[in-house]
Each structure stands twice: as C-alpha cells, then as structure tokens.
Structure 1
Amino acid sequence: MKANFDNKIKLYGFNNLTKTLSFNMYDICYTKSAKDREAYISYIDEQYSAERLTQILTNVTEIIGAHILNIAKQDYDPQGASVTILVCENEIEETSIDALKKDTPGPLPEIVLAHLDKSHITVHTYPEYHPDEGICTFRADIDVSTCGEISPLKALNYLVQSFEADIMTMDYRVRGFTRDITGHKLFIDHKINSIQNYIPDNIKNNYNMIDVNVYQENIFHTKCKLKQFDLDNYLFGYTKKDLDSKEIKSITDKVKKEMDEIFYGKNFDESYYK
C-alpha cells in the first residue's frame, strides 16, 4: 500500500513519527589583538544571549505551531548560552496540515498554524578562538524535534535569516513509524528529496551547497558556504583601509582557510593557499 502524501493520511491513533532538524551555523571573524578578541566575544554573548535566543526559539515555536510548556535558559561564564523549550500539540485543522505539507520554504513568524506534542526545541552557542592566529568562530547548534503531523523544516527559512551565517550544516531525520487505519506502517508522511526544498531561492543563491542524503533511511544532510567574500565583513573594529596589501592577503587566507576547514570537515596544511 502506498501512502498518499497529497491529502491528510487517516491514521490509527496518534502520529508517532519523530522528525528532527539539526541546524548548525558558524560566523567567522578576525581580530588583531587580545583586546579585540575579548570585545568580539562580548559582542557575540550580547547579541546571542539566552534572552535573545529565547525570543528566536519562541518565534520558531510559533512558526511550527506549538504551545510552550516550559522554558529553561542559561548564560555561561566565560561565554556561551543555552535555551531549551518543551512544547505540546493540540487539534490540527485540515487546512493547516495542507499548508504545512507543501514542499516550500516556511513562513516568517506571523501565523500560528497548529500545536505539537512530545516535542522540544534547543539551542547551544559556542564562541571560541584560535590562540595565535586571530581567528574567532561563533557556532550555534539548534535542534527542533517534533512528534506529530508537522515537520520542523518549516522553521528553517526563519532560522537561516535569523543568523545570516557564513557556514551552515543541516540534518533532517524522520524516525519511528505510525500506522494508517488499516494497520499499515508509515515510516514517513511527507514528500522530501532535499532540505534545500525548504530554503528560499534568494538564500540558496548566496551559498555553495552540498547534499548527502540517505533516502532509504529518511536521512537528509545539506551543508552551505557563503559564495561572496568581502574581507570587511570579517574584520572586527577596523576595515581593509587600515591594512596594507600584505596584511590583507594574510588575513584573507586565514579566514578562507577557516571557512573551508569547517565546510569540508578537515584540516588543511600551511600550503593550502600558497
């Protein structure tokens, strides 16, 4: 029996499928001195404090149509923050389900569509820096895990636009199974061939993107690296005008090397850009 994903599937009992989106973003910066580095870390901690991250996750909750049960948040010393939100599900209207099943980028947080159950949303931040090279890297890990009709992929559009990252890695997996009214097992309840289907074209055009998908296991992976490079976007507290040509070349190589190592998941030696 083949499930019809274009209409609401008639299930026996609750939809037990667990859908998990893991969204990881990286922001790269170059600082000239220890003082600049400390200023950058302080800036990141302020921009992505537990309070602000809570607001971002609250917006995610609204987009996927959830009702908040509990919020736990924490700023850390010396740096970083975490937020965890537990959410639950209510009755879902058929029109809302139809809108959510479309293989299109999700909305920005103006409309609440439905409610979720046995679900959670978490974020953890990791500001860090190279001890000698002046490179600073800010990483944020967000997990949106839902159990029920709605896919957390609908929050991806908003997450991408909230962080404007240099590097992004995204994983989406559907686990478990549910049953239709005949008792037939369903291991996925929506069409998907790539996470990229849920990212708007104007965003995709800004990134080089690679997919690694395992369709038979309902596992999807996409990673992205920003195409355009302007060194001014990676300097903290000064601009290219403050540098000579040799410094510009050296810093550019360091920043690009950092981005490539994160994107490809491996270290490159000193001759990488020579």
Structure 2
Amino acid sequence: MELTAEERIELHGFNNLTKSLSFNLYDICYTRSKKEREAYIEYIDEQYSADRLTNILQHVADIIGAHVLNVAKQDYVPQGASVTVLVSEGPIVEVPTGTYEESPGPLPDNVVLQLDKSHITVHTYPEYHPEEGISTFRADIDVSTCGEISPLKALNYLIHSFETDVMSLDYRVRGFTRAKDGHKLFIDHDINSIQNYIPDNIKETYDMIDVNVYQEHIFHTKCKLKEFDLNNYLFGYSKDKLDPKEVEAITEMLTTEMDEIFYGKNIANSILQ
C-alpha cells in the first residue's frame, strides 16, 4: 500500500520500514608519471580525509533530521578513509502528510524530519594503474534509515559534496510496518525513479539509465558525465602544454575509463604511446 500526501494513517507503534540509499561515485584523473600519481593520491587523501568526510556525513544527518549518537572514523595507510555515523531520534507515531513529494532534497543547514535507529557510512578507495596513466577515486556512501523519511532527501547534497564523473545509485525499501488496524505497509511513499531526487541542472550534465524493480521497491540509476574539460583531468599542467595527438589520446583514455565504469564491462583500451 502506497500512501499519498492526503492520507494520514495512524501506525501501530514505530515505523519499521528500512530505507537504504547506496551512493557510489567515481572521480577520474590522468596521471602520466609516478610522481603525478602519488601527488593525486595525496591530494585525494587530503581532500577527502576522515575529518572532512565526517563533516559531510554530519550534514547528511542534519538534512534527514537525525541525532548523531556515535562517530567512528579512520584514515588508512597508504590511502583511503572510512567513517561510520550512528544516528537516532524519537519515534513518530503517524505518517506525516505532504512528506513524500519526489524532488531534490536541500543542501546543508536544513533539518527536514526525524528518524530512528539508523546509520550513515562512507568508505573511499583511491587507486591507480602503474602503466595506463589513469587514477581513480571511488567513494561508497550508505544512508540507511528506519522511519518515515527517505535518505534520498540527502542525495542532492551528497552529489554537490564530491567531484563526480560516474555515479551508481541504489535505493530500496525493506520490511514492513503496520497500521493501527493491523494492515501491513510495505512502502509509505510514492517513488518512480531516483532521478526525481536529482536537480535538473545536474541531470542535464549526465547520461542516465534506470533499472527499477517496482514490485520489490528496488530502484537503480547510473549516471555518466556527458562532456568534460580535459584541463580538469590533468594533474599539475594544462592541455595547452600537450600536442594535439596527446590531447586526443588522453581524452580517449578518460572516456574509455568512464564508459567501462558506467557500463560495467571492459572496453578495448587506448594506450598513450
């Protein structure tokens, strides 16, 4: 049973529905030497340190209306970081009206609603290939909530918090809660696509595909940057320092890397000679 904004159903106890958002993002860079690769990894580890990631997740908690109970964070050697935030809030006895309009959520400094017994995690994976000249940064973020608010409300802010070339987004509603008359509720809001929670100006810059299983309340969206400025992918210099053949070859390598991540399969590699 899906609730509309006009309906107001009194629940039997706490809303036990679990809503989970998995947000995987990739940032890609061309690094032509060992020195550049090491400098890129150092930059990523500084840019997305455990402290900065903790700050991002605390903003996520604010956006979804959560009270932070505990934070565990760790910077790893030689690279990468992890943060886990446990959050909680008092129970809500009714499904509120007007909550589930499909639209991008706020950027930080807005508290939307309350939720209970939830967690937010992030793990980062900077890596590079020693020969092919491509360095990739991946961040995996999970926002899991128990209660009436969807973690999708934090998606807009998360997208703005990272430099993202490719995104893979998964959203699922699990379990059920009960109305006071005993009727099971397997979802308490309308949704037809994760894309409805992404701002139009962001959607215009990405190619997107959906794979949704509506009857199982499973939603999947993949996004790949349509166009890019090569200068943003060179570490320590600009493309005017390269000859046209190098520009073409590097552009092809970056495009192939994005395509392989987006489609989830290997494509014939272009090697810069």
Question: Counterpart in 2 of 1:178?
Answer: 177
| TM-score when normalising by structure 1 | 0.94
1:106, 1:155 within 8 Å by CA — same for their partners in 2? yes
Question: Counterpart in 2 of 1:201?
Answer: 200
Following TM superposition, the consecutive aligned residue runs of length 4 or more in structure 1 with deviations greater than 4 angstroms are 91-94
Question: Counterpart in 1 of 2:44?
Answer: 44
Question: Counterpart in 1 of 2:22?
Answer: 22
1:236 equivalent to 2:204? Answer no
Could you tell me which runs of 5 or more consecutive residues in structure 1 were left unpaired when the two chains were aligned. none
SS of residue paired to 1:54: helix
RMSD of Structure 2 on Structure 1 (CA) = 1.7
Question: Counterpart in 2 of 1:269?
Answer: 268
AA partner of residue 75 (structure 1): D
- The CA distance in 2 between the partners of 1:264 and 1:126, in whole Å, is 19
Question: Counterpart in 2 of 1:188?
Answer: 187
The alpha-carbon deviation at position 229 of structure 1 amounts to 2.0
The alpha-carbon deviation at position 206 of structure 1 amounts to 0.8
SS of residue paired to 2:63: helix
- The CA distance in 1 between the partners of 2:80 and 2:269, in whole Å, is 30
Question: Counterpart in 1 of 2:210?
Answer: 211
Cα deviation 1:166-202 (Å, max 9, x = unaligned): 0001000000011111111111000000000101111
- The CA distance in 1 between the partners of 2:96 and 2:48, in whole Å, is 32
2:117, 2:145 within 8 Å by CA — same for their partners in 1? yes
Share of identical aligned residues, percent?
71
- The CA distance in 1 between the partners of 2:58 and 2:93, in whole Å, is 21
The alpha-carbon deviation at position 92 of structure 1 amounts to 5.0
Question: Judging changes above 3 Å, is the alpha-carbon distance between structure 1 residues 201 and 133 closer, same or farther for their aligned structure 2 residues?
Answer: same
- The CA distance in 1 between the partners of 2:249 and 2:270, in whole Å, is 12
Question: Counterpart in 1 of 2:9?
Answer: 9
Cα deviation 1:230-253 (Å, max 9, x = unaligned): 211111101111111111111111
- The CA distance in 2 between the partners of 1:243 and 1:99, in whole Å, is 55
The alpha-carbon deviation at position 269 of structure 1 amounts to 1.8
Matches within 5 A, 1:80-159: 80-92=80-92, 97-98=96-97, 100-159=99-158
AA partner of residue 159 (structure 1): L
| TM-score when normalising by structure 2 | 0.95
The alpha-carbon deviation at position 15 of structure 1 amounts to 0.7
Question: Counterpart in 2 of 1:68?
Answer: 68
- The CA distance in 1 between the partners of 2:106 and 2:270, in whole Å, is 44
- The CA distance in 2 between the partners of 1:233 and 1:206, in whole Å, is 15
The alpha-carbon deviation at position 5 of structure 1 amounts to 2.4
1:209, 1:224 within 8 Å by CA — same for their partners in 2? yes
1:166, 1:225 within 8 Å by CA — same for their partners in 2? yes
The alpha-carbon deviation at position 271 of structure 1 amounts to 7.2
1:53 equivalent to 2:18? Answer no
SS of residue paired to 1:144: strand
1:91, 1:114 within 8 Å by CA — same for their partners in 2? no
Could you tell me which runs of 5 or more consecutive residues in structure 2 were left unpaired when the two chains were aligned. none
Question: Judging changes above 3 Å, is the alpha-carbon distance between structure 1 residues 3 and 160 closer, same or farther for their aligned structure 2 residues?
Answer: closer
1:97, 1:150 within 8 Å by CA — same for their partners in 2? no
**Count of residue correspondences:** 270
The alpha-carbon deviation at position 110 of structure 1 amounts to 1.7
